[in-house]
Every structure is written in C-alpha cells, then in structure tokens.
Amino acid sequence: MSVAVCSLPLPLFSDIIHAQSLLREVVKKTPLERSKSFSTLSGADVYLKLENFQTTGSFKVRGAYYKISKLTSAEKAKGVLCASAGNHAQGVAYAATRLGVKSTIFMPVFAPPLKVIATRSYGGKVILTGDTFDDAFQAALEFQKKSGASFVHPFNDPYIIAGQGTVGLEVFEQLREVDDVIIPIGGGGLIAGIGIALKQLNPDIRIIGVEAEGAQSMKASIENGEPVILNTVNTIADGIAVKSPGNLTFEAAKKIVDEFVVVNDAEMARTAYLLLQRAKILTEPSGVAAMAAILFNKAKVKGRKVVPIISGGNINMSILEQILDKGVMDEGMRARIQVLIPDQAGMLKSILSILEKMKASIHDIAHERSTTSVPVGYVQVTITFNLQDTIQLPALLAELDKKGMQYQVLT
C-alpha cells in the first residue's frame, strides 16, 4: 500500500459553493438539532449535525455526486468504479445511477451483507474480492487499467473534498454563532472540506478532528510531518479505519485543524447507545466519534456552542446487538450470572423462582457440563436476565447467598 497522491490542488471556497449549487436538488439539507440531553451530560451547548439522515445513510453521497458530475461525457460513458467496505460504496452507486453512469464497486468478501445489498439496490455492480480492503482496492485498480473507468477515491480528491465541504456551509447557515465543530477523521475528506468552508466563513471557529484509538493515521502523519502508513488498524469504527491519509487531506488538515483528539471503541459504543436511548437516533460507531469526544471530555468544549458531525448511520446489525447488550448491562438493567448447581431435578427451578420473585425477565439461559472447570455431578448455568430497577441485582444475589449457591456476576 502507498499513500494516495493527487496532483490537483485543494478546492477553494468557491468550489464548495459551486458544489452546493449542484447538490441542492440531489442531497438533503440534514437537520441541525440541539440536544438537551447531551448538552446536560457534557456541559456544552450541543447541536447534532445529523448526516446519518442523509440519502444512503451518510455524508459520502455529497462528494461522490459532485465528483462524478464533473467527469466529461467521454469519461462518464466508460463508467466509474471504487473500492469500499460500506458508505463510500453506497454513495458512489447512488450518485452514478442518478447521473446515468455505470458503476462497479469492489468490496472485500467480509463486507457486511446488508451494505452489499444496499449498494446493489442503488444500482452498483458489486464485485466481492479479497480478504482485506487493500485486496479489493488493488483489484479495483487492475479493473481500471482494463476498462478505462474513472476511479472515485473516497477522500483524496478535490471534488470529493468540495462535496463534503457542503456540510460546513449548512452548519454555518443553521448556526452562525457556532464556536467549535468536531469532525470524525478517516482519510480526512470530510474534515478537509468542512474546515476549508468554515475557516473562510469565520476563522475563529475551532475545527477539532477525532480519530479512533486503533486508527490514528492523520495524527501520526501530522506528528511525522508527512503522510504515514499504519501497519494495521483495529477498531469497530470501520468508517474511519483508514491506514493513511492522502496528500491533499494531509495538507488540508495541517492548515485548518486546530486540535486532534482520540476516542476508543468503548467510548464510541457507549455514545452510540446513549444516542439511541436518549435521542432516538441510530448511528454507526464512526458516526458518533465526534459526540464521543465531547461526552468523554476529549475535546474541551464546556460552555461553548459545539457541533459534532454525526457522519453516518449504516451500522452492522451484529455490532448494534453488542452495543445494545453492553449498554443495558452498563446501566444495570440487565445482568448475567454464572451459577454452579448440582445436576439434579429442581435445582434450576429454585434459581428461576428467585428471578420470578424479583420480577426479572429471562433473556437467555446456557448450560455447561463438559468443561474441566465443572465438577462431575454439577452443571454450570449462565443466566442473562432483564431487571426493572438497578437495586434488584443486590437483592437477588442475597437470595442466592441464603441458598448457599456458588455464583459469580459476569460483566
């Protein structure tokens, strides 16, 4: 893998204005909503820019449409292609179809089935290839050589950056007195575009970039003085799991980003859960990175008007299930206990009667007899149950103590 290099210059503010004029009839002007809950939790005045409500479920369609719209007629006739595991794929497929252009999307074989289905539904021809994103990317480049199709890069392209910058124009139109805008960073296209737009409109607006702890390629590049390539990335936030920024996005970030902060997977998972529970907003982990930076005090914004960009909502169902399960357990409304009981009739019933008495509803039960940690003649029972109040668990454990049962609470 090498650093993505583009010979064209960064877009100007005028380019972002032009992009907005082209996109006006294509993309949604997404809501900017003040969150009372998150303002209270953070001590800041929080306004959520909800790009998860955008067409295709993320901001990516803005840049993709603007890029494809700027191709010549001859280039459009040869089609477009991209490599992506999710949001960029959907944005390119939708934009190309809207513009009457054939699109070929290379996705790694591990790409979530729902994202593959969505990309096809937007009109893209999906080719699943390779065990990693890099494999899919290389396959796309080989296809480009043979087909002559135009490659739509996910971030290192001035037209992509200009399209994403229209998010910044909308933020300023919706909240002129904004102090800070917090933006997730993957390859850097979104923060480059928003930063160029907002710094032109008001240089005093702070631009704060957020990376996942397991994918800090932009931060490492800034510290190194040039784009670097991480050996690996490891985060649940697949939308910002990028090994290296491009030369354009690095140049933009160096000029316009006031601060870089980092959030971890647990913080993003907790934030996604709270957004769903408190604000009824479904997001993906990368989409909540900016809000996580506020909630966990990574960005110092107390007392300021702050806009976190909620960049996408295309969450994998398996990740959503884990986030919900962990969120409910963290709040003390679901518990999991492991009990060692004699393998005799009626023993399990005695535990269930305690749960019934506490009005706890059983979520799941598992039995284990065959492991070496379980003595002969005993069974290890793992019970997951929902509670009506956080004070119920201590009372339930006291009942198990009375019966002399061996147990442990699993977290």
CB burial class (10 A; 0-12, 13-18, 19+) of residue 411? Answer: exposed
Cβ atoms 187, 155 nearer than 8 A: yes
Whose tokens are 């070496």? That residue is 372
Other CB atoms within 10 Å distance of the CB of residue 354 = 18
Domains, the chain, ordered by start: 13-60+157-324 (3.40.50.1100), 62-151 (3.40.50.1100), 332-410 (3.30.70.260)
Copy the structure tokens of residue 309: 């960009």
Whether 254 is catalytic: no
Cα separation of 123 and 120, whole Å?
Answer: 5
Closest CA to 136 of 103, 102, 109: 109
Whether 311 is catalytic: yes
Beta-carbon contacts of residue 83 (< 8 Å; ≥ 6 apart): 105, 106, 107, 133, 136, 137, 139, 140
CA dihedral 233, 238, 239, 245 (to 10 degrees): 10
Q: Which residues pair with 310 in a beta bridge?
A: 50
Q: 3-state DSSP call for residue 122? A: coil
Question: Distance between the two ends of the chain, CA-based, in angstroms?
Answer: 39
Cβ atoms 253, 185 nearer than 8 A: yes
Cα separation of 75 and 409, whole Å?
Answer: 62
Looking at the chain, the whole-number percentage of residues with pLDDT higher than 90 is 83
DSSP string, 195-256: HHHHHHH-TTSEEEEEEETT--HHHHHHHHTS----S----S-GGG--S---HHHHHHHHHH
Whose tokens are 């023993």? That residue is 347
Alpha carbon 332 to chain centroid, angstroms: 25
Copy the structure tokens of residue 190: 């979104």
Beta-carbon contacts of residue 226 (< 8 Å; ≥ 6 apart): 250
Cα separation of 337 and 168, whole Å?
Answer: 48
CA atoms within 13 A on the CB side of 49: 29
Cα separation of 379 and 126, whole Å?
Answer: 49
Claim: this prediction has a pTM higher than 0.75: yes
Closest CA to 189 of 14, 1, 70, 16: 16
Query: Residue 275 has what pLDDT?
Result: 97
Catalytic residue among 49, 60, 115, 199: 60
Cα separation of 65 and 95, whole Å?
Answer: 5
- In tens digits, the chain (411 residues) has pLDDT values of 678 899 999 999 999 999 999 999 999 999 999 999 999 999 999 999 999 999 999 999 999 999 999 999 999 999 999 999 789 999 999 999 999 999 999 998 888 888 899 999 999 999 999 887 778 888 999 999 999 999 999 999 999 999 999 999 999 999 999 999 999 999 999 999 999 999 999 999 999 999 999 999 999 999 999 999 999 999 999 999 999 999 999 999 999 999 999 999 999 999 999 999 999 999 999 999 999 999 999 999 999 999 999 999 999 899 999 999 999 999 889 999 999 999 888 889 988 998 988 888 999 999 998 888 899 999 999 999 999 888 889 988 998 999 888 899 998
- For residue 58, which phi and psi values (nearest 5 degrees)? -160, 170
Alpha carbon 166 to chain centroid, angstroms: 20
Other CB atoms within 10 Å distance of the CB of residue 367 = 13
Whose tokens are 């004029």? That residue is 21
